[in-house]
Structure 1
Amino acid sequence: MRRFIQNGAQLCALAVSAAIVTMAYAKTSAEDIARLDGPLTPIGAERAGNADGTIPAWTGKWLGVPPGIDYKAGDRYPDPYANEKPLFTITAQNMQQYAARLTDGEKALLKKYPDTFKMIVYPSHRDFRYPEDTYKAIRTYAPKTTMTADENGLKDFPPVAPFPVPKNGVEAMWNLRLASNLECESATYDQAVVYPDGNIAWGKVKYYIYGPRGAHPYEPNNPLVDKTFSRVQTVLPLSDRGTIIVSYDMWDQQGSDTRRTWTYNPGTRRVRQSPEFGFDQPLGPGGFRTVDDDRLFNGSGERYDWKILGKREIYVPYDNYKLMDPSIKYSDLLTKGHENMQYVRFELHRVWVLEATLKSGFRHQYAKRVIYLDEDSWAALAADNYDGRGMLWRTNLAPSVYAYDAKIFYPTTTFYHDLSSGAYYADRLTNQGEMPILSPTSNMTEAFFSPDAIRGDGN
């Protein structure tokens, strides 16, 4: 991961700036930890509802499978709110009535597709919770959590929400990076780029994640606890079939090389280290999105200055169990211009608004990103990405569900809209495929994610 520094003077300035910023980061205070059992939830959200009652108070009454739901591991997640009726629908014609609770990207989509893009709004829910050992780990380790001098690593931190009461944008960014900590994820995801004329470029990947930090119960003494491993094997497009990428992130390290990546090329049958993998490297069918677009932001935040713009009440895609329903065919979901909005559920939730502005001397396709983080999970639900001219270029939606087996909030099909070209990309499609396996226990090992493993499996 290469930094582009213009001269020695700038390097010195960055070093001084980093030292000053690091001094501003304090461990979570005892007073803030006490608030997690009072006005805040155990993960740092506001426990109360909003003033007009359209956002309910957090109950956290359900851990795992809700009462009355027929589910066993490996099944699709049944929708606990399937019988609810919409409250109203936001369209291009009435959007001004709801403008204060819309993102700039949602407004742009309503304006660009006035006849077809709509947001169907349902009652809001805050019913699910994380396992108690996760909350205990936050209370135990958040007061000890420290950041490395360059902000690229953490020490003595819990499995999620290392900064449950963030004081600045970098701390909120770290909460986002750790929001989806799973011990094990095994899935085959379909992918599709839908062009303005309706033609589709298909992709398919086999996807594996192994993160000991996400184990239940949390095991801080596991020697691999500060690493997360991934393995992605391309099935489609045919031109890339057989390509395998393995990597691991080191959460507790500083420096610009906290991710190690290797790629198996089926054409040469060779494995090579890929030191530049990450950031705005194109990924997916046609290179439609960037590596760090995964889950709307993924990987090191070193190229940006991070700032919390505050909290807002926003209509966001939430409780989208329907997007994993096998009865919904891709031909019905993937319509021209944008996804078929009758299958996307929106709810009103409080979100942290996190702004990332590209640092001087660094490069990225996105000069600015505005990311909307769910207060109850720290996961990104929407993101607006701006080009170098300051124009809104791509707006993305990451509908979520609560995964009954893993007991964590989890992204379903994610949509990346290119406002310039009129194309969009659908990632993590599973309707016509297999249900992802999210297991609180794992038989994966470090060896499965090694260069030797993909060299053997690729031949």
Structure 2
Amino acid sequence: MFKITKTTIAMTLLSSCAGALHAAVTPEEAKKLGATLTLVGAEKAGNKDGSIPEYTGGLTTPPAGFVKERGVRPDPFADEKPLFAVDAKNMTQYADKLTEGTKALMKTLPGFRIDVYKTHRTVAVPTSVLESTVKNATQARLADDGLSVQGAKSGIPFPIPKSGNEVMFNFLARYQGVSYTLPKFFGFNVDSSGKLTLASQGKYVTEMPYYDQSKSADPTQMTRYRGDYTGPARRSGEALLAIDPVDYVGKGRRAWIYMPGQRRVRVAPDASYDTPNPSSGGMATYDDTYLFNGKLDKFDFKLAGKKEIYVPYNTYRFTYNDKPEEVFGPKFINPSVLRWELHRVWVVEAMLKAGQRHIYSKRTFYVDEDSWNAVAVDQYDGRGQLWRPGFAYISQCYDALAVHATTSGHYDLNAGSYYISLWPSSGGVKVSDTLLPESYWTPDSLAGSGVR
């Protein structure tokens, strides 16, 4: 059902030759897609020792007990046990497969460990996304000094990336479903004393007009987000709307916020970059959301290659857990509810450009080859010291051929605190292939929803 023949790929490549002059790869290079590479650009083969298996199509069958209407996905690997654990005592044995942030957490937080499980390459996306990705391979190109992408639609823009900016645009355009909703999300902070505090609560909707197959014209909007807050009490009634374009240089992010105390909607130009994000209680920046989002103009992004790294993966037991008091420990997430696996990731080093201002001087992103989600990041302060390592918690929506990795968070090595954002818990994640009415995405609609 989800196979694309070599004939289909060949015809697509031939039809796109005219656009290959300024494309990321040649038609000859693009023939790797569906051969040695998956149709989104991951290495199809497993690694040498078999600890990373061959990609065989991902997870597309729900396990027993799944109720689609709830949007809560049972762990398909619930019966599996960890292969081994890594902590401060044995971390040197696995150092080459740990991010700098993971190693720092093991060194500084007594008891921090990762439980490593068998690797499952569960990512699967619709056939339409695969077909569009093949087209994009020879048609998409960077423009405006690498700050925008042209010629891409409804698929991964650069499945065979040649630069850090291309990898980051693949991440920004990652397929998460045309539309998905967290009917009831939570954000929690844990301060240096170990106190667990609710930082945000509400409904969160994300849509990707970029993947809307019903329109023939080139998309102008990449992603749009809307959060309607119901908690804590001081934030009840607030609402935030942000729209990110395909062309960041030509349009830029547009954002609005509704404050019930003021009873008006106002433009929110500061809802970007390193402005503290109130949804994290100020523990993170706006562009920390999902580990990164927004425009690429503050940093130089250098592609450092690929590595095999232990990262949180297939985190069903954590993502849909309904007991925050058991999940969030006084210094770190309870290791027993987190699953870590070995996966190949693209490594992108981001250095702050001369003349630009940001609280981070350097960021190292680890981008999953199968899904193009950023799954880990190491962030450094102005002195060049590791400050905020972060992770995204990825799981396949096996009923919808989409990937959920919206839930993410960072540890603050200086403050001894951490947070998690957009945790769906038992509220679930609901994925749709249709967009909400355009009226839902207007500033005026925020005022109507913001009722205490």
Question: Which residue of structure 2 lines up, in the alignment, with residue 179 of structure 1?
Answer: 174
Q: Which secondary structure state, in structure 1, belongs to the residue aligned with residue 138 of structure 2? A: coil
Q: Give the letter for the 2:204 counterpart.
A: Y
State whether structure 2 residue 88 is matched by structure 1 residue 92. Answer: yes
Question: Which residue of structure 2 lines up, in the alignment, with residue 264 of structure 1?
Answer: 258
Question: Which residue of structure 2 lines up, in the alignment, with residue 308 of structure 1?
Answer: 303
State whether structure 2 residue 100 is matched by structure 1 residue 110. Answer: no
Question: Which residue of structure 1 lines up, in the alignment, with residue 14 of structure 2?
Answer: none
Closer, same or farther in 2 for the Cα pair 1:429/1:181, shift >3 Å?
closer
TM-score (norm: length of structure 2):
0.90
State whether structure 2 residue 195 is matched by structure 1 residue 211. Answer: no
- Partner Cα separation in structure 2 for residue 137 and residue 439 of structure 1: 19
Question: Do 1:69 and 1:80's aligned partners in 2 also have CA atoms closer than 8 Å?
Answer: no
- Partner Cα separation in structure 1 for residue 319 and residue 281 of structure 2: 24
For structure 2, the 5+ residue unaligned runs are: 1-20
State whether structure 2 residue 288 is matched by structure 1 residue 293. Answer: yes
1:45-104 CA distance string (max 9 Å, x none): 111111111111111154x32476744343411222111121101011011110111000
Question: Which residue of structure 1 lines up, in the alignment, with residue 187 of structure 2?
Answer: 191
Closer, same or farther in 2 for the Cα pair 1:363/1:209, shift >3 Å?
same
Name which of 51, 55, 76 aligns with 2:52.
55
* Identity score, percent: 37
Question: Which residue of structure 2 lines up, in the alignment, with residue 447 of structure 1?
Answer: 439
Q: Give the letter for the 2:345 counterpart.
A: V
Number of equivalences? 428
Question: Which residue of structure 2 lines up, in the alignment, with residue 4 of structure 1?
Answer: none
- Partner Cα separation in structure 2 for residue 428 and residue 51 of structure 1: 36
With 220-229 and 282-291 compared, the bigger mean Cα shift is at 220-229
With 448-457 and 293-302 compared, the bigger mean Cα shift is at 448-457
Q: Which secondary structure state, in structure 2, belongs to the residue aligned with residue 143 of structure 1? A: helix
Question: Which residue of structure 2 lines up, in the alignment, with residue 458 of structure 1?
Answer: 450
Question: Do 1:50 and 1:56's aligned partners in 2 also have CA atoms closer than 8 Å?
Answer: yes
TM-score (norm: length of structure 1):
0.88
Following TM superposition, where does structure 1 have runs of at least 4 consecutive aligned residues deviating by more than 6 angstroms? none
State whether structure 2 residue 368 is matched by structure 1 residue 341. Answer: no
Question: Do 1:138 and 1:161's aligned partners in 2 also have CA atoms closer than 8 Å?
Answer: yes
Question: Do 1:209 and 1:230's aligned partners in 2 also have CA atoms closer than 8 Å?
Answer: yes
For structure 1, the 5+ residue unaligned runs are: 1-23
Question: Which residue of structure 2 lines up, in the alignment, with residue 138 of structure 1?
Answer: 133
- Partner Cα separation in structure 2 for residue 451 and residue 323 of structure 1: 34
Question: Which residue of structure 2 lines up, in the alignment, with residue 278 of structure 1?
Answer: 272
- Partner Cα separation in structure 1 for residue 219 and residue 238 of structure 2: 26
- Partner Cα separation in structure 2 for residue 61 and residue 453 of structure 1: 38
State whether structure 2 residue 265 is matched by structure 1 residue 236. Answer: no
Question: Do 1:159 and 1:181's aligned partners in 2 also have CA atoms closer than 8 Å?
Answer: no
- Partner Cα separation in structure 2 for residue 381 and residue 317 of structure 1: 7
- Partner Cα separation in structure 2 for residue 324 and residue 276 of structure 1: 29
CA RMSD of aligned residues (A): 2.0
Q: Which secondary structure state, in structure 2, belongs to the residue aligned with residue 185 of structure 1? A: strand
Name which of 24, 29, 34 aligns with 1:27.
24
State whether structure 2 residue 193 is matched by structure 1 residue 201. Answer: no
Name which of 26, 35, 39 aligns with 1:38.
35
Question: Which residue of structure 2 lines up, in the alignment, with residue 65 of structure 1?
Answer: 61
Q: Which secondary structure state, in structure 1, belongs to the residue aligned with residue 411 of structure 2? A: strand
- Partner Cα separation in structure 1 for residue 206 and residue 187 of structure 2: 18
Question: Which residue of structure 1 lines up, in the alignment, with residue 18 of structure 2?
Answer: none
